[in-house]
């Protein structure tokens, strides 16, 4: 099975078709390569690039200039994530098509879950939620 929940050990011994329950509170927050952003990778498939990630951003944190290489979907749990196209606030959902480019920021902080078909391409060359990053 290619996909997994990195840093989560309770899935050992499960069959290939068994459900994988993830107790999110047992996962540690891990720093992202950008100041003020932490993540919990809930699912990742290094073969396809598919991933589901819980993000926590401190007030004022910024996700620098990047392009979504495929569809990205985000559900906002707390706070807001904003860019030049608008704001996604708590209880709302936004999706972006592949090719969408933006800088996102959380003026008052944010907690959200995002699903990516493939990793983003960051204009500064930063590698984020790739197979390389998960192994760290």
67 three-class SS = strand
Query: What is residue 123's predicted lDDT score, i.e. its pLDDT?
Result: 67
The beta-strand segments (E) located in the chain are 30-31, 37-44, 51-57, 61-67, 72-83, 86-89, 93-96, 101-106, 110-116, 121-122
**b/e string for 101-124 if b means 16 or more Cβ within 10 A?**
ebebbbeebbbbbbbbebbbebee
pLDDT by residue, tens only, the chain of 136 residues: 577 887 777 777 788 888 988 899 999 999 988 899 999 999 988 888 888 999 999 999 998 888 888 889 999 999 999 999 999 999 999 999 988 888 899 999 999 999 987 776 666 555 555 434 434 3
CATH class of the domain defined by 29-125: mainly beta
Query: What is residue 126's predicted lDDT score, i.e. its pLDDT?
Result: 58
Query: What is residue 11's predicted lDDT score, i.e. its pLDDT?
Result: 78
**Residue boundaries of the structural domains of the chain:** 29-125
């Amino acid at each position: 099975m290619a996909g997994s929940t990195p840093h989560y050990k309770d899935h050992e011994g499960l069959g290939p078709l068994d459900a994988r329950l993830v107790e999110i509170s047992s996962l540690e927050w891990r720093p992202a390569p950008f100041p003020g952003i932490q993540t919990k990778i809930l699912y990742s498939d290094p073969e396809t690039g598919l991933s589901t990630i819980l993000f926590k951003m401190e007030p004022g944190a910024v996700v620098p200039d990047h392009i979504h290489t495929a569809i990205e979907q985000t559900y906002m749990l707390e706070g807001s994530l904003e860019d030049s196209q608008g704001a996604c606030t708590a209880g709302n959902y936004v999706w972006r098509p592949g090719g969408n480019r933006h800088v996102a920021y959380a003026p008052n902080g944010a907690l959200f879950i995002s699903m990516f078909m493939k990793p983003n391409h960051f204009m500064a060359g930063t590698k984020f939620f790739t197979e390389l990053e998960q192994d760290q």
